[in-house]
Chains A and B, each alone.
Chain A
Amino acid sequence: MDLLNALVAFLNFVFIPALAYGSQLALGALGATLIYGILRFSNFAHGETMAFGTAITILLTFGLQALGITFGPLPTALIALPLAIAATALLLLGTDRLVYRFYRDAKAAPTILVIVSLGVMFIMSAITRFLVGVEDIAFADGERFVVTARGFRDWSGLEEGLAIRSTQVITVVVAGIAVALLFWFLNRTRTGKSMRAFSDNEDLALLSGINPNRVVAVTWVIVAALATTAGVLYGLDKSFKAFTYFQLLLPIFAAAVVGGLGNPLGAIAGGFVIAFSEVMVTYAWRQVVAYALPGDWAPAGLLQIMSTEYKFAVSFAILIIVLLFKPTGLFKGQSV
């Protein structure tokens, strides 16, 4: 019986990866849910927006590195992030001006906007591929680890190692800061309040003199910031490949729906629910259980509920269950 080893194995292989992944999903889901709440459509181009923002960050990072500018132990990409957010915001505002505004003025049904966003997705993914290509790009620099597996093992004398990558810490910290800023903005500032009013009741908001174009523009800028941050954190923590962001679309929407579409708090909760479910359902629990149980009670099987190939099936299953039994999500959002 060795509860300490069980705990460390759990932290190392389940808790820490799921926490980082959950933070990335939460940021992504926040962007998707904001668009749904205020612009009233599911933005299929959200994953590609993340990819575009990350691509710009990568280019800027390489530029900074070429100039000899680094961020000490932290990744240089964090310096590049604000500029990349600005570039992404310009792209999104441009897209809105060229594409979405036409359909908004025509009072197009949300379904049509969803299909329009699908088209935008293809264009954006092409732009991203054109900018940085389809190869695997590693752009994380600085210190790689806060705690290394071997270092921890030597220090603690335990059998199991615990690794904490600096990108995981950065992800959680940056996600925390971004969420705090967002909530402060939505709850304390005049523009934020007008956005919430617009989301709750568009007609009433217009009657009380809220400028819809301004609300829309601010929403896109915030979405650009959230999407780029989420994309960069994901790319730093894992690796950047242009097309993997498309695969993130499903867990992101699952997170947004689980939390309640249009509800920012729900998006965050949903992100963590999805991330922890994905990791815990596909994790083989044998080792943790073997440490926790006394003596030779160790199970022969792997204690794996689902093989890892079905990782995305988990978010899909959760999505369907929530839509069937609680269409408004865990926190009260709009039903789909």
Chain B
Amino acid sequence: MKKLLLAASATALCAGAAVAQDAPSGAAPKIGIVLGFTGPLESITPFMAQSAEVAIAEVNAAGGIVNGQQVTSERADSTCIDAAAATAATEGLVNGGINAIMGADCSGVTNAILTNVAVPNGIGMISPSATSPGLSTAEDSGLFFRTAPSDARQGQVMADILKDRGVSEVALTYTNNDYGKGLADSFTQAYTAGGGTISITAAHEDGKADYSAEVASLAASGSDILVVAGYTDQGGRGIIRNALDTGAFETFVLPDGMIGQEIVDVLGDGLSSSFGQYPGTDSPGATRFQEIATAEGFDGTSAFSPESYDAAALIMMAMEAAGSTNSADWTQKVADLANAPGEEILPGELAKALELIRAGTDIDYVGATAVELIGAGESAGNYREVEFKEGEIVTIRFR
């Protein structure tokens, strides 16, 4: 009797769950596109918004989501710089009934919207372009994701590469500005956490003719490998040149600011034992997205446009997978959809993705930027690990 009761209630529960998934839950799907249409980013935000709208149109053409409802969207201006204006604009959208935010763009206003609007109202948001490391640890109640990598990510990737190559001690020099300092900090954190030792950290100023003093003190650390977080046509090159001349270092680790054909041409064999990394992907998604953008008549190479397409696509697929437009429901699905395992989905294949989701097949959304969410729901980014062989930049692998 007891067993029968249990079985009966279990069946009832399952049935209940199935019913809940079938019935439309939450309001009609509406995405707020919050980007800085005025302000410092006004030249790239129109393309970002257009990319998101292209994804929405693609989903609508495929029959919509959550029981065939058409997705609507509305734009609002984040201004990129004015937190109060961004908050007010987004609140306006919330009153208009949005249940997801594609945005915001700049890190400062993104944080303001997250804290003031998204979390209090329980609205999920995916930013295509906020890269501040601070957002990784923001209080988001699981509502915030980004399809752009944190600035701290490259430091981690560089530390991983060194670790894989069995390097346990390096000297570090960085160009004395936000880029160099930020990269040096994130690298130091990641590398020492992984058990590496940084024997000396020394800043250098760009635009000097002579770096012998800097190289001399770096050499005194006794390390064999030098990480140069600088610029290829500035102090970074001066440091390497002088280090090669004096025999202080022969192996250099070069992050994105240091990698370019020019430095390889200038230094030639001097870099033969060096390596480095810079953003890049071999994913076919990038080319596919360019084709879509060209067909729609806008520039797909514009910064953060692919990320915007991916952000909007992820929101809609997550809604479909959750069978609900409630942020609390769909935000649970984002990481699953973005990451392996599953069938890979490229831009332009959203119809197929929705079908697979409805059929219960697991998908891995690759999208235009080879999205892979890590940590607190941010893109891992994609980096090329490169070496310099016979005057060429050779890609070793993608990370």
List chain A positions with a Cβ less than 8 A from chain B: 9, 12-14, 17, 21, 136, 138, 144-145, 148-150, 152-153, 161-163, 165, 234-235, 238-241, 243-244, 247, 278-279, 282-288, 290, 302-304, 307-309, 311
Contacts and interface: CB of A to CB of B under 8 A. Distances in A.
Interface in B183-238: 200, 202-205, 207-210, 212-217, 219-222, 233, 237-238
A313 to B, nearest CB: 12
Given A21-B210, A145-B245, A284-B217, 16 more contacts: A9-B220, A12-B247, A144-B245, A148-B247, A161-B247, A163-B245, A163-B247, A239-B238, A243-B207, A244-B207, A282-B213, A287-B221, A288-B220, A304-B220, A307-B202, A308-B217
A283 to B, nearest CB: 5
B209 A239 contact: yes
B176 interface: yes
B69 interface: no
B177 interface: no
Contacts of A303: 220
B246 interface: yes
Nearest to B202: A308
B222 A17 contact: no
28 contacts: A12-B246, A13-B215, A13-B216, A17-B212, A21-B212, A149-B248, A161-B246, A163-B245, A163-B246, A234-B209, A239-B238, A240-B209, A244-B207, A278-B213, A279-B213, A283-B217, A284-B200, A284-B216, A284-B217, A286-B221, A287-B221, A302-B200, A302-B220, A303-B220, A304-B217, A308-B202, A308-B213, A309-B176
Contact of B207 (A12, A165, A241): A241
Nearest to A160: B247
A13 B209 contact: no
A241 B209 contact: yes
A21 B213 CA distance: 11
Contact of A244 (B209, B215, B241): B209
B207 A13 contact: no
A284 B210 contact: no
Interface residues of B, number: 29
Instruction: State the main secondary structure of chain B at its contact with A.
Output: mixed
Interface string B344-368: 0000000000000000000000000
Nearest to A165: B245
B200 to A, nearest CB: 6
Contacts of B176: 309
A123 to B, nearest CB: 22
Given A13-B216, A282-B217, A284-B220, A153 B233 contact: no
